[in-house]
Amino acid sequence: MIRALALGVLLAGDPATLAVRGATGSVIWWRADQAPVRWEQPHPAVSRALHWRRAAPGVEWSELALEAGGEAWRTRVIVARLDPQRVRFDVAWGVDSTARPVWSIADVPAGTRFAVNAGQFTAALPWGWVVSGGRERLAPGHGPLSSVFVAERDGRVYIVDGDTLAALRASSNVAAAFQSYPTLLRAGGMIPEAIRAPCIIDCTHRDARLALGVDATGRVLVALTRFDAAGEALGFLPLGLTVPEMAALMGALGARQAMLLDGGISAQMLVREARGSMRAWRGVRRVPLGLVALGREE
């Protein structure tokens, strides 16, 4: 009977799972066949596995060892959490006079407390709306599964879902903004239908991922996945989670809204430590847009 059951499981195929890996073993906290459609609070197994390190004021970061399916059997997630009460955000424009992307974390100014590549891009330009230094650089793009990260002049940050941005565009309060896609979590932690089974977009492709979200208290969460089977030297190999898995990760981290940024070989992140040294997870290529966090007083 037991043999028959075991064989039955083999024949059926196991659903994709996500587990946190610790000293005492792995704890599965998500299954594709039982995936929640809404994340109302962080997952306790994920929260327990996070040990936040204080970096520069307003910045914390932690690491998570994950097990997922296929190539993502060893995935490390670096999570940064930023307090908009203590940092202000800006978008760094990185397209040079020959239409090439030139931004990377290697070139951020000395006072930068946090930096990450932003948005998506095809050849030269970032996709969608870009406001940098209080000035619009590019008009909004159109796509119902897109979201925009907004930093207002008074420091408030939020994500707006969808592409109806006329009112926002007309506002004089926006200091920095960029669009990206796909939306991973809509307002209230809801996973968009397009990335729930059966997906409308490609939900099976695995890649190094980067996502940005905002939690219930308004803090910004940024999660970067790294391939973890051979140390940091190969961390930026484009192997990692699927889109639904990334949505689940952001929900489990406590995000109420989240969107994917350009992962793969573009993904890169920098955290300035409390003593001023730099912790960097580099990408392979330069990109046209970055998101930086500076001190509120700067």
For another protein, the binding residues (CB under 8 A) are 2-3, 6-7, 10-11, 13-14, 69-73, 95-100, 122-125, 135-139, 172, 227, 229-230, 234, 236-239, 264-265, 284-286
| Least distance from another protein to the Cβ atom of residue 119, Å | 14
Closer residue to another protein, CB minimum distance, 69 or 155: 69
Closer residue to another protein, CB minimum distance, 66 or 250: 66
The label of the residue with tokens 């239409």 reads 99
| Least distance from another protein to the Cβ atom of residue 230, Å | 6
Closer residue to another protein, CB minimum distance, 206 or 272: 206
**What three-state secondary structure class fits 94?**
coil
| Least distance from another protein to the Cβ atom of residue 1, Å | 8
Rounded to whole angstroms, the Cα distance separating 142 from 121 reads 14
Closer residue to another protein, CB minimum distance, 257 or 266: 266
Closer residue to another protein, CB minimum distance, 89 or 121: 121
Rounded to whole angstroms, the Cα distance separating 259 from 243 reads 10
Distances (CA, A) of 215 to 87, 212, 218, 245, 258: 16, 10, 5, 18, 9
Instruction: Return contacts of 132-140, CB within 8 angstroms, 24+ apart.
Output: 132/90, 132/91, 132/92, 132/93, 132/176, 133/90, 133/91, 133/175, 133/176, 134/174, 134/175, 134/176, 136/169, 137/93, 139/169, 140/165, 140/169, 140/179
Rounded to whole angstroms, the Cα distance separating 103 from 258 reads 23
Q: Which residues contact 116 (CB under 8 A, 6 or more apart)?
A: 80, 105, 210, 212, 222, 224, 261, 268, 269, 270, 290, 291
The label of the residue with tokens 């073993």 reads 25
| Least distance from another protein to the Cβ atom of residue 289, Å | 13
Closer residue to another protein, CB minimum distance, 23 or 170: 170
Terminal-residue alpha carbon distance, the chain: 69
Closer residue to another protein, CB minimum distance, 131 or 258: 131
| Least distance from another protein to the Cβ atom of residue 75, Å | 11
| Least distance from another protein to the Cβ atom of residue 89, Å | 20
| Least distance from another protein to the Cβ atom of residue 165, Å | 13
